[in-house]
Structure 1
Amino acid sequence: MESTPSSIPVVPPPFAHGLVHFSQALARGQAKIVAIGSSTTAGEGNIVSYPDRLLPLLRAQYPAAAISLDNRGVGGQEAPVELLRFDADVISRHPDLVIWQVGTNAVWQDPGQVPPPPTFFETTKAIQDGLVRLHNKTEADIILMDLQYVPTLLTPDKAIAMVVAIGELARDAGVNAFRRFAFMKALHEIEGVSFDKMVDPTDDKRLHDSDWVTQRLAWALKLVIAAGADIA
C-alpha cells in the first residue's frame, strides 16, 4: 500500500499510468466516462455523488471537449454483483474511461444483512475477473477506487487487507488505483479534519462520506485524471 500523502492541502499521488484512451478521446472532442460502484457512486441520501461533482470539474478543465459521464452506481452492491452488470452498464456504453469503486460492502458487516455480503475471496476474484473483462471488451482506461476511511471501517483488520488487495489487483492488471482510503486518512491525520466533518451527519452507521469529503474526492479525482490525461 502506498504511503499516505503528507503535504497540505492533501492531494493523491499521480497515477501509475497515463490515461491514453481518455486523452485521445478529449483530443477528438468527445469523451465518455462510466462510473460503476455502490452508494458512494450512486449517491447516498441528500449527498450529491462524486461522479455528479466530477463531471462539471472535468468540463471546466477541458472546455473544448464534449464530456459525458454515465453514473451506474447502485447502493449496497459489491464487485461480484457489479460484474454481472458490466455488459449492459459499462461495455455496451463504449467508455473511454471507467471508474470502478469497490471494496466497502465486502468489509462492512450489517447485522442481519440478507443476502450476506460477499467474502473477501469472492470480492477480490470478481475484481480480478472484472478487470480482465474490461481489458478484453473495451479500450477504456480504468481507475479502481478503494474504500473510504471512516470510523465503521477502521475496526476490522480486513479493511486494511482489502485496501492492500485492491492496490495489488490494480498493479497486476496494469490499471490505475485511486487510493481513497489513504487520501481520506491523510485528510484526517495531516489536515486534521475531524470524522464529524468527514462522515455524513445523518448516517448513524458512520459509514458514508459527508458532502464536504465527497467534494474533496471529486476535486482530487479531477486533479489526477487531468494529470494522467495531459501526460498521455
Structure 2
Amino acid sequence: MLAGFRIRLACAFAMLAPLGLQVQQANATEFVCRPSTLTRDAADLASSWSRGSTPLRILAIGSSSTEGIGASGKDKTYPARLGALLREGLSGRSIEMVNAGIGGETAPQTLSRLKAALSEGRYDLVIWQVGTNDAVTGGDLGTFRQLVADGIAAAKQARTRLVILDPQFYPGIKETARYRAYVDAIAEVARAQAVPVLSRYQAMLSWYQRDADGFMAALAGDRFHMSDAGYGCLAQDIARSLLGDRPAATLTASAR
C-alpha cells in the first residue's frame, strides 16, 4: 500500500513547478531541494490515513514560518503546499489544512491558541512550529521547556496526534549556542513524550553546508524567513516524513 503512496507523492511534486520551482540542472545561484526526511517517527500516519474516507483536518500552528512570511502568496506557504502534496499522496482524499500562523509569536502566545484550538475542534494532526522567536529574543530555557511539555500534554489530553516543527537554521544566528539550546530542548522534551520532531534546523543546516551560495535562494530577502523555494522544499520533506515516502525528485530554484 505504501508503494502506491510513493508513486502518487512522487507524481505530486510535478504540481510544485507552477508554484515557482523548476526541475533543472543546478548552478551556483540555485537552491537544489534534494529528498530528505525530517523524522522517521511519524510514517505510521500513512497507513491509518489510507483507511478512512472522511476529510482529514490538519492544524498548522506557529509563528511567521507557518503564516508564510517571505512567501509570495498564501498558496506558496508550507501548509498550502503540504496540503496539496498530501491530497495527491493519499489518492485525492479530502484534506482541510488550517493555517493558524501568526508572525512574531513566542511559545506562550502560540500555546494559548493551541489549547483553544484543541478545545474548539477536532484535528487528525497538529503541526506545532515553535521555538524560533523564543531563541532569538532570549528568555528562560527552563520555562520554554515547560511550555513545550504543556503543549504536548494538551494534545494528548485532546487525543490529537502532534508533531513539532523546530526552528529554522539561517546564517545570521548571533548566539549560536543559545539558539541551538532551544533546538535541543525541543528534541529532548518531545523524545521523552514520544512526540515526533520535524528537524527543520538540521535539514536547513545540511542545505547550507552542502551549498552555502545556493542556500540563500531558500531564504527570503531578509535572510531569516524562508522563500517560496524554501517553503516548497520544507513541504516536500514533511510530506515524506508523514507518508513514509522517499521520492527521487530534485527541484531547483534561482536565487533572488
Scaled by the length of structure 2, the TM-score of the pair is: 0.74
Residue 162 (1) aligns with residue 182 (2): yes
Q: Which secondary structure does the structure 1 equivalent of 2:60 belong to?
A: strand
Change in 2 beyond 3 A, CA 1:209/1:154? farther
1:159 positional shift: 1.2
- 1:96 paired residue number: 124
- 1:40 paired residue number: 65
Letter in 2 for 1:223: R
For residues 13-72 of structure 1, the C-alpha deviation after alignment (integer angstroms, 9 at most, x for no partner) is 54224445x743442112111111000001114443210111001111112421111111
Q: 1:141 aligns with which of 155, 161, 168?
A: 161
- 1:209 paired residue number: 226
Change in 2 beyond 3 A, CA 1:45/1:187? closer
Letter in 1 for 2:161: D
- Native 8 Å contact 1:104 1:146 kept in 2: yes
Change in 2 beyond 3 A, CA 1:58/1:126? same
* Matched residues, number: 209
- 2:242 paired residue number: 225
Measure the CA separation in 1 of the matches of 2:139 and 2:77: 24
Residue 51 (1) aligns with residue 79 (2): yes
For residues 67-89 of structure 1, the C-alpha deviation after alignment (integer angstroms, 9 at most, x for no partner) is 11111111111221111112332
Q: 2:37 aligns with which of 12, 33, 42?
A: 12
- Native 8 Å contact 2:149 2:189 kept in 1: yes
1:10 positional shift: 4.7
Measure the CA separation in 1 of the matches of 2:127 and 2:108: 16
- 2:112 paired residue number: 84
Q: How much is the aligned-residue C-alpha RMSD, in angstroms? A: 2.2
User: Structure 1 vs Structure 2: percent identity of aligned residues?
Assistant: 29
Unaligned runs of 5+ in 1: 1-7, 110-116
- Native 8 Å contact 2:81 2:232 kept in 1: yes
Measure the CA separation in 1 of the matches of 2:141 and 2:207: 27
1:162 positional shift: 1.0
Residue 125 (1) aligns with residue 146 (2): yes
- 1:66 paired residue number: 94
- Native 8 Å contact 1:33 1:96 kept in 2: yes
Change in 2 beyond 3 A, CA 1:155/1:173? same
- 1:151 paired residue number: 171
- Native 8 Å contact 2:217 2:229 kept in 1: yes
Q: 1:27 aligns with which of 51, 75, 94?
A: 51
Query: Relative to structure 2, which stretch is displaced further, 89-98 or 28-37?
Result: 89-98
- 2:251 paired residue number: none
Change in 2 beyond 3 A, CA 1:133/1:142? same
1:125 positional shift: 1.3
1:142 positional shift: 1.2
